[in-house]
Structure 1
Amino acid sequence: MRVPLSWLREYVDLPADVTARDLASRLTLAGLEVETVETLGSDLTGPIVYGRVLEIEELTDFKKPIRYCRVDVGSANGTGEPQRIICGARNFSTGDLVVVSLPGAELPGGFAIGSRKTYGRMSEGMICSATELGLWEDHTGIVILPEGFGEVGEDAIGPLGLREDVLDIAVTPDRGYALSIRGVARDTAALYGVSFHDPADVAVSAPAGEGHPAVIADDSLCDRLVLRGVTGFDPDAAGPLWMKRRLHQSGVRPVSLAVDVTNYVMLELGQPLHAWDRDHLTGTVTVRAAEAGEKLETLDHVQRSLDTDDIVIADGSGAQAIAGVMGGVDTEIGLTSSEVLIEAAHFDAMRIARASRRHQLSSEASRRFERGVDSDLQLAAATRAAELLAELGGATVEGAYTHLDRVAPRAPITVKAAHAAAVSGVDYPAGTSEKWLETVGCEVVVDGDELKVTPPSWRPDLTDPNDLAEEVIRFEGYENIPSIRPRGSGRGLTSGQRLRRAVGRALADAGYNEVLSYPFTGERDLDGLQLSDDDARRGALRLANPLNDEEPLLRTTLLPGLFKALTRNVGRGFTDVALFETGLVYRPRPGAGRAPLPPVDRVPSAEELALIDAALPEQPRRVGVVVTGDAERAGWWGEGRAATWADAIRAAREVARVAGVDLEVEADAHAPWHPGRCAALYVRVAGERLLVGHAGELHPRTVKAFGMPERTAAMELDLDRVERARTPVVAPEVSTYPVATQDVALVVDETVPVGAIRDALVEGAGDLVESVRLFDVYTGEQVGEGRKSVAFTLRFRAGDRTLTAEEASAARDAAVAVATERTGAALRA
């Protein structure tokens, strides 16, 4: 809502020293967020004065008609002589009062005015149009002012309103009253404690007879309808300059006097109006629901199929308007309309909102109706519009009018007098709530420590005690609520939360960047993963209303989202990419039925809740990584290193490390990984070996399907299962005794996993072993074809003594013995 400050001051006795920015700050603190304060005409400078056209010389030697004018500008030019100005407009005559920009002036947009020779004559200034002055958009010619508007030579900037402060307010859906000068003025008066002059205080006499016949078919659609007519309206009458200027400042385009009047009253009071050409109305005006198959051509010349949920205003020939949204072309005010019927009504807000969205018509009227308008304003608004048509358009207001009133009285709201203080935590003085609620228009009856509050008709948003508390708190000042640190509750983070944070920090420290992908996927993504038809990951949950028709499924794996994020980054020139994501995947339970939809008028039964729970998919939390390009960049320090399947496994080991679990790795074949470069990841839970994920290089077909670089590697791990494998952390004993180191090299078949050899060495070495670390793998002639040599460093240490060489050697021999038995290893000479 754009609010010109001068218009607002007409209804609020604001102190003269209150600036637009001061007011914007106060309104924002009171809940009406002022997004911007725009100073219109701030780039405009004078001299811009009134002038009288004395003489017009027609220059006919050019391709288009040009006029050479003598214009009286008084003493504004310093000489008192008429100003000579070239002008191409044709809509003015000798004797007209116009606006003249003299040399030295600057118009909006940085358009400097000077004296220059053009069309063979010296032009000393400009006769201005509304567009050039920034008054409103009008390309029909220059501005012709009415007689008596000003004296020749006087400054025109102030009287024309060329400079104006305009507040642009972002009105929230619950404050429909603020979509009017009236509503903003009421809050402004309350904030500054000054008088408010209600523009809706319009004298309305009793109807002198019956107005245009009207019927409300269903009170749930419309509970108040007013029809006021005027006769003898001059359709050629132009809207006054002040009205056009205010409409433009408020963001509404001036059209014609009849339309401008209805828009002006809507902005002023907040009540949308509709003007009908009464000559084109037949029979009784009826407010009803649209009939099945009914059509209407609206003012935007679109033929619309109406829905039975739409409210329409109809006459004897059918629907003539979508109520509260847009009128029809058949009854539009035209260039010859002299009989005008003003309609003002109070419609059901929800139906107007649905109709606006259904027909994709968001009009100024629908914006107000769907937020709630004053249910007691219709007669005053229609009367105000009729009087303006009479004043400005030469019409006569008919004494008879139609007023159908079906509005039910509002029930009072009972609230504790101290409720606002309890909500805000501020001990307000006694009587504070009553004062502010009465200020906003509520009727308040004090009953002991309770208040019975009847909200005013213009505040349909006040429906419960918390709404009333909000009114008190915002006028007392949100900024006056002290900041109190909340007391801690609970016992801090859960074990799962700590694990997820630790995993995120560890992967970030390892060089991975976190991404968040949408949890939606499609069949195309599952095909790209090379999943078989019976793969459990294809059993995805289908959404009823997907955001994207190509991604109607909830993800069963994190990998497609990671792959797409990597492809986007690579496509933007980043060749070295390492990404990770933690999030839920959704695995439907086998045989799960459809969740019931319990009614909203009662609490779901235990049986319904059980069925809902049974229909929910399992939602394990996963962590995934994807890496491509160089894991270590080349430079003056040496050669780089390309990322491989080993980096994906290293990421899994990093997750296992911060989780405090042992990760077992062995070769596997699992889509979408390369069969020969895929590792299965296991942990042990209560002695049972549990698969938690996979890592390795991706299959070439998957790489191609997602457009990723060759040799891209990825890992996906089930964090919930990893957490289950965690055991209480026991602080290690730190021995002060020296370590004994023994190296051992074993020759085994090249198919034997190194991890199996290491596990056998650890088991055989007993309690004295501190660590077993692989430091070399050799294949070649010395060990024979199909064989490999693996070398480990074994570190031994005792907590109570220094180990002897014999003890260390015995432990080493025991480790080698178990490895020989388990893996067929032979000690290499």
Structure 2
Amino acid sequence: MLFPESWLRSFTDPDLTTDALSHQLTMAGLEVEETQPVAPPFSGIVVAHITEIAPHPNADKLRVCQVDDGSGTPLQIVCGAPNAAAGLKVPLARIGAVLPGGMKIGKAKMRGVESFGMLCSARELGLSQDHAGLLELAADAQPGQSLRDLLDLDDTLFTLKLTPNRADCLSILGVAREVAALTGAPLRRPQVAPVPVTLADRLPVDVQATDLCGRFAGRVIRGVNARAQTPAWIKSRLERAGQRAISALVDISNYIMLELGRPTHVFDLNTISQGLTVRWAREGETLKLLNEQTVTLQPDVGVIASGDQLESLAGIMGGDASAVTLDTTDIYLEGAFWWPEAIMGRARRFKFSSEASHRFERGVDFANIPEDLEVMTRMIVDICGGEVGPLDDQVLNLPSRNPVELRLDRCRRVLGIDVSQSQVEDIFSRLNLPFEVSGNVFRVSPPSYRFDLSIEEDLIEEVARVYGFEQIPDVAPMAPAVMTAAPEARHGPHLLRERVAARDYQEVINFSFVEEAWEHNYAGNTDPIRLLNPIASQLAVMRSSLIGGLLANIRHNANRKQSRVRVFELGRVFARDAAVADGDLTVKGVNQPQRLAAAAWGPAFPEQWGVPVRQVDFYDVKSDLEALLGTRAATLVCEAAEHPALHPGRAARLVLDGKPIGWLGEVHPRWVQQLELAHAPVVFEVDVEAISVSPMPAPAELSRQPFVIRDLAVWIGAGVAYGDLLHTLRQAISADPKLAIVKDIRLFDVWRDKNAVQAGQSPETSLALRFWLQDADVTLDDAQVEACMATLLDALVKVHGVRQRA
């Protein structure tokens, strides 16, 4: 929120410097992000009146001006500005004046004619980028008056970075209330006498949706002059608050919004054929807005209609059809309370934002609507004239102001200070919070403009920030710090991150809310959890998979000419689960497991002379995953299966100790093409809980006996997988004590007939397995080894029908 300091001080003027006021607001929770002067430093610039002007004798583009600078002696100034003319009031830099940047003005001779100063443009004074001509000043400006005093250039612009809960401070009045409470300076709220009613005209308004609009007020004003000039002081305040002056009626509406926090709307009465109806939109209705954008509406968007014609997007933006113009003569002035839940996220849905929706979705004061409209009516009549009708005010469905209790003992424990009852009473009084005290319990009724006071901690926060965070002593906690022993077999998230990073992956942290298309494409989730108030229209649902974020990271890097990307993320995902109940760390109906996901794209190894360049594949990433699992990798099984994000023939369901834990595979070609990647990334995603516990290593005596190595090659049918063979061998070894001498099994060769494959046939595949055998006590003899190998081969023949390859 941007505003000039002088505007704030017109409401309350504490005896504080600009820096001290900025610090006080920041320490009270209203962070002053930046302060900057309205104009850069310059001196010696005064108002001058051009009395005469003549052509320069030696230059076609220069003219010789005689100016009155209030000193009583005319000055001769040579000027080349195209708008220089007799009668203008313009800024004059006298001899000795210093311009922004340090340039000092002295007497000069231009093409043989002396010049005793310089007439200035707005850009030369650092007031704007306009360099088309001299800065024209008001006709009633007095020659010789300091330009800084005339334009109030010694002002300071404050930029507040407000938290979303402090909607009451989205106005000068709201900030002034805070300053008055913090400093004790008196608060001066604008007081105006109601404008006399001179018309009996009323516009009927039918509020059909009280869950959309809780209060609606308005009045008819006829005979206004929409071409009236907005007073300079209003224009100045609006411009310094970041608003562009448009026309008197629009400027007044914006001014009231910024000063009092009251968004209003002004309808051109002559464009409204019938009365107004406040209702929810009908599916497919369209409305052209003031920003010339045409939007298609859904039934959860509020509108103001006149008959079948939509006139306004309720609480967000007015319609183009009923907008006031310079030819408008009759208007309808509207002010309403729109329920925050009915406004939240609607503007972002249409990919724009408005000052009105920014306020209404956070909560706007619903008690002072008639008073604020009276202030606005007075400004309209004083500036634009007109005849005023009666103010209609419909109170329909306002928020209940439920009292909030504060226990003084609880407040002391939370803050760690012995705040007294009288101090708390003083703080609540300064904040204008009505309260009752019963013993040590305060019962506070939140005002109509404070939507952030609903629980006891909110009141404790109010006490803390007005008491002063700087006054709360820095005391070490008194609770005993008892270190709890973590189970050695359990691996926390830090160790998991360390292990993945050691495999040359870089950690990323992505948003938990993602594009809805990601959920459909990468997770097959047709019913994702939607956000009520997304920070952006494309980030509208909660993620149920980490894969989408990692693929976006890869695409981002690929677009910036990175050829090799390896990223991982450890975070929570969110999915619907009716079995989940409410708890301290759970939300009913929402499962929130932690997942670990990684993605690799580009060359398998950094480019170097000793290794040929090849793209990362399924087995590279599987190796990384096995390194992460450590000793448990022996029980990891990859089962061929289909996943929405993965290649149909290059994806596997991961099973650990007989339980599914996640997925591994190459990204589906469809998504690779959509991401515009030259190669397919390989990703895995596993459940953190499933991989967080590993058995402790068991020490064993090393054998002094040599290993015996034997190879076994077998033919297998098309439907038999190597994993199935390995599972059968391990089962046989565990069931027969004589096979305990088998210490390791590895696949070292795969062969199939290429001609048969090219012909579309399904030939047998030859797998060559290598076995390591060792006895702990004695050297193995050939008979024992051959018997062991025969038993293993027999197991494969019985279960899978393999044939030994000669």
Give the structure-2-normalised TM-score: 0.71
Q: In 1, Cα distance between the equivalents of 2:222 and 2:672? A: 75
Q: 1:289 to 1:764 in 2, by over 3 A?
A: closer
Match in the other structure for 1:629? 603
Match in the other structure for 2:504? 511
Residues 164 and 362 in structure 2, CA contact (< 8 A), matched pair in contact too: yes
Match in the other structure for 1:98? 90
Match in the other structure for 2:759? none
SS in structure 2 at match of 1:89 = coil
Q: 1:655 to 1:139 in 2, by over 3 A?
A: closer
Match in the other structure for 2:420? 429
- 1:100 Cα deviation after fit: 2.3
Q: What is the identity, as a one-letter code, of the residue corresponding to 2:65?
A: C
Give CA deviations for 1:113-147 in whole Å, capped at 9, x if unaligned. Answer: 78888899776655445676565798997555446
User: Which of 263, 268, 277 is the matching residue for 1:272?
Assistant: 263
Match in the other structure for 1:454? 445
Q: Which moved more, 1:435-444 or 1:482-491?
A: 482-491
* 1:732 corresponds to 2:699: yes
- 1:8 Cα deviation after fit: 1.3
* 1:7 corresponds to 2:1: no
SS in structure 2 at match of 1:742 = coil
* 1:240 corresponds to 2:231: yes
- 1:246 Cα deviation after fit: 1.5
Give CA deviations for 1:317-355 in whole Å, capped at 9, x if unaligned. Answer: 977655544455676555466777755454555545577
SS in structure 1 at match of 2:174 = helix
- 1:185 Cα deviation after fit: 0.9
SS in structure 2 at match of 1:244 = helix
Residues 562 and 625 in structure 1, CA contact (< 8 A), matched pair in contact too: yes
User: Which of 607, 611, 634 is the matching residue for 1:662?
Assistant: 634
- 1:575 Cα deviation after fit: 4.9
Match in the other structure for 1:33? 31
Residues 747 and 768 in structure 2, CA contact (< 8 A), matched pair in contact too: no
Q: What is the identity, as a one-letter code, of the residue corresponding to 2:779?
A: S
- 1:428 Cα deviation after fit: 2.0
SS in structure 1 at match of 2:362 = coil
- 1:254 Cα deviation after fit: 1.8
Q: 1:238 to 1:728 in 2, by over 3 A?
A: closer
User: Which of 405, 409, 426 is the matching residue for 1:415?
Assistant: 405
SS in structure 2 at match of 1:202 = coil
Q: In 2, Cα distance between the equivalents of 1:305 and 1:702? A: 30
* 1:87 corresponds to 2:63: no
- 1:376 Cα deviation after fit: 3.9
Q: In 2, Cα distance between the equivalents of 1:597 and 1:14? A: 58
Match in the other structure for 1:55? 52
Residues 214 and 339 in structure 2, CA contact (< 8 A), matched pair in contact too: yes
SS in structure 1 at match of 2:149 = coil
Q: What is the identity, as a one-letter code, of the residue corresponding to 2:634?
A: D
- 1:12 Cα deviation after fit: 1.6
Residues 405 and 444 in structure 2, CA contact (< 8 A), matched pair in contact too: yes
Q: In 2, Cα distance between the equivalents of 1:413 and 1:512? A: 53
* 1:384 corresponds to 2:378: no
Q: In 2, Cα distance between the equivalents of 1:420 and 1:477? A: 14
Residues 289 and 311 in structure 1, CA contact (< 8 A), matched pair in contact too: yes
Q: In 2, Cα distance between the equivalents of 1:339 and 1:618? A: 57
Give CA deviations for 1:412-453 in whole Å, capped at 9, x if unaligned. Answer: 615244254455454421133322222222222333344343
Q: How does 1:171-250 map to 2 (within 5 A)?
A: 171-199=162-190, 201-204=191-194, 207=196, 211-218=200-207, 220=210, 221=213, 223=215, 225-227=217-219, 229=221, 237-250=228-241
Give CA deviations for 1:459-514 in whole Å, capped at 9, x if unaligned. Answer: 34445544434322332234538676687899777899727654543333233445
Q: In 1, Cα distance between the equivalents of 2:374 and 2:540? A: 55
Q: In 2, Cα distance between the equivalents of 1:772 and 1:597? A: 43
- 1:72 Cα deviation after fit: 1.7
Residues 421 and 427 in structure 1, CA contact (< 8 A), matched pair in contact too: yes
Residues 230 and 340 in structure 1, CA contact (< 8 A), matched pair in contact too: yes
Residues 135 and 248 in structure 1, CA contact (< 8 A), matched pair in contact too: no
Q: 1:60 to 1:402 in 2, by over 3 A?
A: farther
Q: What is the identity, as a one-letter code, of the residue corresponding to 1:629?
A: P
SS in structure 2 at match of 1:47 = strand
- Structure number with bigger Rg: 1
Q: 1:181 to 1:541 in 2, by over 3 A?
A: closer
Match in the other structure for 1:69? 65
- 1:682 Cα deviation after fit: 7.8
- 1:66 Cα deviation after fit: 7.5
* 1:742 corresponds to 2:706: yes
Q: In 1, Cα distance between the equivalents of 2:652 and 2:295? A: 61
Q: In 1, Cα distance between the equivalents of 2:551 and 2:291? A: 47
- 1:251 Cα deviation after fit: 0.7
Q: 1:128 to 1:306 in 2, by over 3 A?
A: farther
- 1:392 Cα deviation after fit: 5.4
Q: In 1, Cα distance between the equivalents of 2:346 and 2:516? A: 31
Q: 1:51 to 1:237 in 2, by over 3 A?
A: farther
Residues 76 and 116 in structure 2, CA contact (< 8 A), matched pair in contact too: no
SS in structure 1 at match of 2:147 = coil
Q: 1:403 to 1:109 in 2, by over 3 A?
A: farther
SS in structure 1 at match of 2:436 = strand
Q: What is the identity, as a one-letter code, of the residue corresponding to 2:231?
A: P
User: Which of 358, 366, 390 is the matching residue for 1:367?
Assistant: 358
Where does the alignment leave 5 or more consecutive residues of structure 2 unmatched?
717-721, 752-765, 795-806
User: Which of 513, 520, 526 is the matching residue for 1:542?
Assistant: 526
Q: In 2, Cα distance between the equivalents of 1:655 and 1:363? A: 50
* 1:822 corresponds to 2:792: yes
Residues 694 and 717 in structure 1, CA contact (< 8 A), matched pair in contact too: yes
Residues 101 and 125 in structure 1, CA contact (< 8 A), matched pair in contact too: yes
Match in the other structure for 1:782? none
Give CA deviations for 1:535-571 in whole Å, capped at 9, x if unaligned. Answer: xx9xx44246899999999999988887786676567
Q: What is the identity, as a one-letter code, of the residue corresponding to 2:79?
A: I
- 1:14 Cα deviation after fit: 1.6
Q: In 1, Cα distance between the equivalents of 2:467 and 2:435? A: 18
Residues 496 and 723 in structure 1, CA contact (< 8 A), matched pair in contact too: no
Residues 51 and 73 in structure 1, CA contact (< 8 A), matched pair in contact too: yes
Q: Which moved more, 1:368-377 or 1:287-296?
A: 287-296
Where does the alignment leave 5 or more consecutive residues of structure 1 unmatched?
527-536, 588-593, 780-785, 797-806, 825-829
Q: 1:307 to 1:83 in 2, by over 3 A?
A: same
Give CA deviations for 1:709-747 in whole Å, capped at 9, x if unaligned. Answer: 88x8968586689759x77536415x6xx9624253546
Residues 3 and 241 in structure 2, CA contact (< 8 A), matched pair in contact too: yes
Q: 1:508 to 1:242 in 2, by over 3 A?
A: same
Q: In 2, Cα distance between the equivalents of 1:458 and 1:552? A: 29
* 1:498 corresponds to 2:498: no
Q: In 1, Cα distance between the equivalents of 2:495 and 2:792? A: 36
Give CA deviations for 1:750-788 in whole Å, capped at 9, x if unaligned. Answer: 7799989999999999899897799999x9xxxxxx998
Residues 515 and 539 in structure 2, CA contact (< 8 A), matched pair in contact too: no
Q: In 2, Cα distance between the equivalents of 1:706 and 1:483? A: 54
Q: 1:814 to 1:415 in 2, by over 3 A?
A: same
Q: How does 1:240-389 map to 2 (within 5 A)?
A: 240-275=231-266, 280=270, 286=276, 288-289=278-279, 299-300=290-291, 310-312=302-304, 324-327=315-318, 334-335=325-326, 343-351=334-342, 356=347, 362-389=353-380
